Structure 1
Amino acid sequence: MPPDFPLLVAELLVLGTATGFIAGLLGIGGAMLMVPFITAILAHRGYPADLTVKMAVATSLATICFTSLSSMRAHHARRAVQWRVVVVLAPGIIVGSILGAQLGAALPGRSLGILFAVFVAFSATQMFLDRKPKPTRALPGTAGMLGAGAVIGVISSIVGAGGAFISVPFMTWCNVKIHDAVGTSSALGFPIAVAGTLGYLWAGRTLPAMPYAFGYIYWPALAIISVASVLLAPLGARVAHRMDIRPLRKLFAGVLYALAAYFVLR
């Protein structure tokens, strides 16, 4: 065990706690916090520069395998998951997520970092403006849903996210009620995360051995962040119901812009 292992555990506990609480409080995906800070943790410990962002993205997806189950269960209990939509979108999402993992692993680390910065800046803008797309049409047919699922899966897997930043606006635009769109998106996060994680595991099977890593997955972060975020997300959600979080969302959008700038500058 390296001498700084207790410090690593403390850093990951703080990150997992903050990620879970803020995700529950503001209704955002944890990838926007996890990927930048896991990248910094890995870089500080001397992991190869071209791999740090890829490992952070893959590890973020792996944590969503666990955190999405908690969110999905809560939304299902409120009857906010449209399972028929999940069933039709899931096949395209699975294929797209596996493909996205291969693309993410093949990209140079610098390019992947810039793509992630664009994702964070886009999400921050959505949060700051708080705009909801106007419902103008119905959900497409099976072919259209498979295609939409594939796009959601590819982009989500590349940036290590659960897909809500795309799937919620898409479903709202297609006349799905916002609460159902959010609940259904929480259920879609699980196939995105599982397929994307398997994709990164396959893509990283030939990587050289690295401490506490299996391919692109950084196991200490996966274990600690998953537990801490699952425990703290319900607390954040309870706090959100007792206060006006709109000013906090705009403040946090500013933090996300700073994180996006960090990725571009480094």
Structure 2
Amino acid sequence: MTDLSLLQLAMILGGVALTAILAGILAGLLGVGGGIVLVPVLFWILSMTNFPPELSMHMAVATSLATIIFTSISSARAHNKRGSVDRSLLRLWAPGIVLGAFSGGLAAKYIDASGLKAIFGTIALLVSINMATPKTLVISDHLPRSKAVNGAISYLTGLFSALMGIGGGTLSVPLLSGFSVEIRRAVGTASAFGFMIAVPAVLGFIYSGLGVEGRPPLSLGYVNLIAAGIILPFTVGFAPVGAALAHNLDTVWIKRAFALFLGITAIRMLLSVFG
């Protein structure tokens, strides 16, 4: 365990709470997964303290994934009630998603902080460009017919989602939309993918982090239970606030502003690795 002063601990916990509030509001306002907000800000908060830099990214990613287990359940239930979860698509992609996510969690044992930052920064930059682009990139007018191709796509989606600490929406919704899946089906099915990503990925990150020196108190592998416990009620509680704001604000400009924030964050992360 790392030795943190009370002031440092208070700064971390306060920052975590504020980040969770922001993630919850943006999730409701823009429909983005909380992980894409939580991971970079948690990493930044940890980096501002004397927390071991080689652990900051691993802890941020794993803790974000732990919260997604619970938030994805409520989200998937809500979408399922509206009939927007495509069960045939779920069955088609589920094996690859689960295997990829578990592989990502286990791979964290062999990927250093720079590697995780490079992965997050690269994909987050692509996500920010996609968010800032008004038109949806169309790959095909239908899903691939080959089970092997679907397996490869779903495996990579699970793998990179796990390594980034994000749920199903950030990568799978743009992908499914690119294959001309109707947006409500894409979002609804992606909410179920979130659970399928988070559970095996967290198990992998727990195993990968066992016995690693320098972790904060009450950590299970790379998952910090204190931070996860603080994040959950705030993200769940403030998501409806964001949803309410969405009816009164011009979300187009907010989405572009968030895309700018995400792009800058991604570039800063990449510069910290390659700069």
TM-score of the two chains, using structure 2 as the length reference: 0.89
Question: What RMSD, in angstroms, separates the aligned Cα atoms of the two structures?
Answer: 1.9
Supply the distance in 2 between the matched residues of 1:241 and 1:140 (Cα, whole angstroms): 39
Tell me by how many angstroms 1:144 deviates: 3.3
Amino acid at match of 1:124: S
Give the distance between the partners of 2:10 and 2:74, measured in 1 at CA.
28
Contact 1:97 1:192 in 2 (8 A): yes
Contact 1:61 1:162 in 2 (8 A): yes
State which of 216, 219, 227 in structure 1 corresponds to 2:225: 219
- Cα deviation code 1:106-134 (max 9, x no counterpart): 11211221221112111110111133133
In 2, distance between residues paired with 1:208 and 1:98? 23
Name the CA shift for 1:185/1:206 in 2 (closer, same or farther; >3 Å).
Answer: same
Distance 1:137 1:156 in 2: 23
Distance (whole Å) between structure 2 residues aligned to residue 117 and residue 191 of structure 1: 23
DSSP-derived class of the 1:105 partner: coil
Which letter does structure 1 place at the counterpart of 2:48? H
Aligned partner of residue 6 in structure 2, secondary structure: coil
2:150 aligned with 1:145? yes
Q: Deviations along 1:193-219, whole A, 9 cap, x unmatched? A: 111111111111231263222221122
TM value normalised by structure 1: 0.92
Residue 168 of structure 1 aligns with which residue? Answer: 173
**Which stretch of structure 1 is more off in the superposition, 112-121 or 179-188?**
112-121
Write the distance in 2 (CA, Å) between the matches of 1:97 and 1:176: 23
Q: Structure 2 unaligned runs (5+)?
A: none
Quick check: 2:12–2:46 contact (8 Å CA) kept in 1? no
Select 1:261's aligned residue among 230, 251, 267: 267
Q: 1:88: Cα distance to partner?
A: 2.2
Query: Are 1:185 and 2:177 counterparts?
Result: no
Would the aligned equivalents of 2:108 and 2:208 in 1 still touch at CA under 8 Å? no
Asked whether 1:3 is paired with 2:6, we answer yes
Aligned length: 266
Retained in 2: the 8 A contact 1:58–1:197? yes
Match among 49, 52, 60 for residue 56 of structure 1: 60
Q: Is the 8 A contact 1:139 1:175 kept in 2?
A: no
